[in-house]
Amino acid sequence: MPLVCAKFATRVPQVLVQSRRNNLMATDVGIPLFLPSVSKEIMSASKPMTVSVSKCDQTLISSSMEGQNQLVLKPSEPEKYFKELEVAVRAVQMACLLCQRVQDNLVSKNNGQVHSKDDKSPVTIADWSVQATVSWVLAETFGSENVSIIAEEDVQALSKADAAGLLDAMVKTVNTCLTEAPRFGLPSPIVSLGTSEVLKAISRCNSIGGPIGRFWVLDPLDGTLGFVRGDQYAVALALIEDGEVVLGVLGCPTYPLKKDWLSYHNGYHRIISKLTPPTSESWERGCVIYAKRGSGKAWMQPLLHGDQKLVWPNSARQIQVSSVDNPALATFCVPVEKANSSHSFTAGLAHSVGLRNQPLHVYSMLKYAVIARGHAEVFMKFARAGYKEKIWDHAAGVVIIQEAGGVVTDAGGQPLDFSKGIYLEGLDRGVVACAGAKLHEKIIGAVDASWNSSSL
């Protein structure tokens, strides 16, 4: 990796000196970089101090990743939520490893570890395992009394008499994952968790949300249909405070680093990857994308592989939305799942507004990641009658796109409201996400012009 050649300095806020006497991280002053060393004199100082970092202590983003950007210290960024963001990213990194292992097992053995929920959508052992794992990590890190979580899964299906085998496999999966927590800089249990402890971790995710207070929002595995097919899916974690999404993390284990690979089914790549050796830009890399509200930045890390340990920020680089604002040049993300959205309306709308490029067919919240990385410009979802959008399907993706420079609203141009509980209450027709304000304005106008003629 190239190195920054000049020395630079940043002023450490007084509140940081008072609150972090033992461990000072550069994340606390506004960037995802560790300061190599900080003296006791600095840590105990009563006034703001200047910390100088030499050229040998600064790292750049891996040149193997597209669109290389440099990380620089910015003293003006607030330190709030940096600890929460770092823990969330580490937890999602670990959850992605869990999902990869379960998916490989499902695809290779087709061993029946796929069940159906009451709404007939498939759910796997990975859904519950990720929920239990992330819930346990958050409670251990911040204290169970300080952690409130909204999540998609509950323990009802695991309480049925015929679920004993699934429950045993899930407990084993959780414990296997948590033994590797130190690799990700996270706590691990002294002894393996028992069945009751794992069920308790899942049951902890019983928050009802609302406009006051702080709660986490977790979709342990979004795009389960893609997951069981060996294709795309996402792990999504967000933090909401007083009705506002303040940070979001999206784990995208099957997201290739190269845009061209998005057009191929993962099964095709599995065949090709066996014929060609992996490279630093191979499909298997995957990524975790994250952002903090008000920072004006979104970041992407590669997933860990093999026996690697996560050293923050794990070769993170800044990502941005596309600069395309002409509908004729824009690329449209199309949901693969058809059950809860109207493909015919969105296809007609895309044509009427002038979108001519071949659309990208994408599972899950990966659509938000695709726009944030600049690989597409438009995502629209208009639910069928009777379906209500849940906040865990949107919270993490919305803040990431916004901080990457994009716009996300309902079809009336209003911000999505995450303060009404588990549903996006008051949603005007649907969700519209765009790479920029000009393109967004054109799409909103086309929705208004086409809506009355639709059958939604």
List, as residue ranges, the binding site for Mg(2+). Answer: 152, 219, 221-222, 393
Give bridge partners of residue 292 from the DSSP assignment. Answer: 247
- Binding-site annotation: residue ranges: 152, 219, 221-222, 393
Q: Coil, strand or helix: which one is 196?
A: helix
Is this structure's pTM higher than 0.85? no
Strands ordered across the beta sheet of 378-382: 360-362, 332-335, 378-382, 430-434, 407-410
- For residue 105, the model assigns a pLDDT of 80
> Which residue is catalytic, options 59, 124, 133, 224?
224
Residue-range domains of the chain with CATH: 1-74 (no CATH), 82-254+286-319 (3.30.540.10), 327-451 (3.40.190.80)
Q: What is the pLDDT of residue 18?
A: 36
Which sign, positive or negative, has the C-alpha torsion 406, 409, 413, 419? negative
Low-confidence ranges of the chain (pLDDT < 70): 1-78, 107-113, 115-122, 161, 259-285, 337-344, 452-456
Active site residue 224: yes
125-142 helix and 164-178 helix, angle to the nearest 10 degrees: 50
Q: Is 260 among the catalytic positions?
A: no
Q: Indicate which residue of 127, 173, 231, 331 is catalytic.
A: 127
Burial 322-333 (b: 16+ CB within 10 A, else e): bebbebeebbbb
